[in-house]
Amino acid sequence: MIKVRSLIGLLALLLLMTVSWLYFSYQTFLEKTIQIDQAIEFDVKDGVGSLAVANQLRSLGYFDGRLWMRAYLWLNKDHHKIKAGRYQLTPDMTLEQVFHTFTDGEQVEYQITLVEGLTFKQVHELITASQKLKTVTADKSQEELLSLMGAEYRHPEGLLFADTYSFHYGYTDAELLKRAHLSLMEVLNEEWETRAENLPYQSPYEALIMASIIEKETAVPSERDRIAGVFIRRLAKRMRLQTDPTVIYGIGESYDGDIKRIHLKTDTPYNTYTRHGLPPTPIAIVGREAIHAALNPADGTELYFVAKGDGSHHFSDTLEEHNKAVRKYILGK
């Protein structure tokens, strides 16, 4: 009887020791971090299960312990609902943290910035060249691009909002174009609703055209509404806008960076030296600030401005004052 009790006691002790060892080994496994030296990006394919992902992590040498990985997944059923995507794994992450990332869908977030003043062609080249976006529009025609953007206009110029856009792996350039267009229309309509009175625009689109000219005329934020005021007053007086950026846009790809007198005299739909009113389309993409300035011009009497050479402008009320400023800042007299 005593031997039986001793045997049972010994078996119980062995069982306790085994359970303790298993528990300690499992906890030790859970505390181990992924075996990488620096942050990496890891793709979870659509339709792939958690066990397959675990085996992939193990085969790549990121974790060892096949038995413990299976045990972990068996004990954590919620981690079977992983989401497809691209994730960032860092050297300090445990297996539990890795799978929390997969189930929470905390994907790598990329960004692309559409800078104010770019043309539609420049933007399209930028996004189709991006290695982070999935390219599907490289061979699309202008009409096809307008259609996938959901645009109601016949020309794509200026129809995207200048901003920084965040996106996940698999996001397409088509989705970005549509998103940037919808953002523009939302901002344009918001600003149109709170516009100043007695503006010469017949539609928000005309305000967008003006905003694009303002965007190209100055890089100084505080000048935007003053330049808008100059152009609004010139339109009211039936004066030509005479703005170089529209002329340059009309020259197109043959422009070599040097605007000449012949360019100012050569008539194109965008030459505001030869034609009255606004050009037919915007000439670049814009941000909210330029739109706001176009719809809320500064009061004043100024009708002219000239670049001072430091990025800012000198404003004048009269042609005589303007010519004097031109001699000072352009001709150096």
pLDDT of residue 246: 97
pLDDT of residue 256: 85
Per the CATH hierarchy, to which homologous superfamily does domain 31-107 belong?
Endolytic murein transglycosylase (3.30.1490.480)
pLDDT of residue 80: 72
pLDDT of residue 31: 76
pLDDT of residue 3: 65
**Helix/strand/coil (H, E, C) string of the chain?**
CHHHHHHHHHHHHHHHHHHHHHHHHHHHHHHCECCCCCCEEEEECCCCCHHHHHHHHHHCCCCCCHHHHHHHHHHCHHHHCCCCEEEEECCCCEHHHHHHHHHHCCCCEEEEECCCCCCHHHHHHHHHHCCCCECCCCCCCHHHHHHHHCCCCCCCCCCCECCEEEEECCCEHHHHHHHHHHHHHHHHHHHHHCCCCCCCCCCHHHHHHHHHHHHHHCCCHHHHHHHHHHHHHHHHCCCCCCCHHHHHHHHHHHCCCCCCHHHHHCCCCCCCCCCCCCCCCCCCCECHHHHHHHHCCCCCCCCEEEECCCCCEEEECCHHHHHHHHHHHCCCC
Distance from C-alpha of 137 to C-alpha of 126, rounded to nearest angstrom: 12
pLDDT at 287 over 80: yes
pLDDT of residue 321: 94
For the whole model, what pTM was predicted? 0.85
pLDDT category of residue 17 using cuts at 50, 70 and 90: low
pLDDT at 11 over 90: no
pLDDT digits (tens, 9 = 90+) for 188-220: 999 999 999 999 999 999 999 999 999 999 989
pLDDT category of residue 9 using cuts at 50, 70 and 90: low
| Six-digit token string for 197 | 């009175």
Taking alpha carbons only, the member of 219, 165, 161, 168 closest to residue 191 is 161
pLDDT digits (tens, 9 = 90+) for 65-112: 777 778 777 877 776 788 999 999 999 998 888 888 999 888 999 999
Residues 164/116, Cβ–Cβ less than 8 Å: no
The pLDDT of 50-57, averaged and rounded, is 88
The pLDDT of 257-281, averaged and rounded, is 94
pLDDT at 320 over 90: yes
Q: Which residue has the higher pLDDT, 137 or 77?
A: 137
pLDDT at 1 over 70: no
pLDDT of residue 8: 65
pLDDT digits (tens, 9 = 90+) for 155-192: 999 999 999 999 999 999 999 999 999 999 999 999 99
Distance from C-alpha of 333 to C-alpha of 331, rounded to nearest angstrom: 6
pLDDT digits (tens, 9 = 90+) for 210-254: 999 999 999 899 999 999 999 999 999 999 999 999 999 999 988
Q: Where along the chain do its domains lie?
A: 31-107, 109-188, 204-329
pLDDT of residue 266: 92
The pLDDT of 46-68, averaged and rounded, is 85
pLDDT of residue 2: 59
pLDDT of residue 16: 64
pLDDT at 34 over 80: yes
pLDDT of residue 20: 61
CA dihedral sign of residues 25, 26, 30, 31: negative
User: Considering the chain, what percentage of its residues have pLDDT values greater than 70?
Assistant: 90
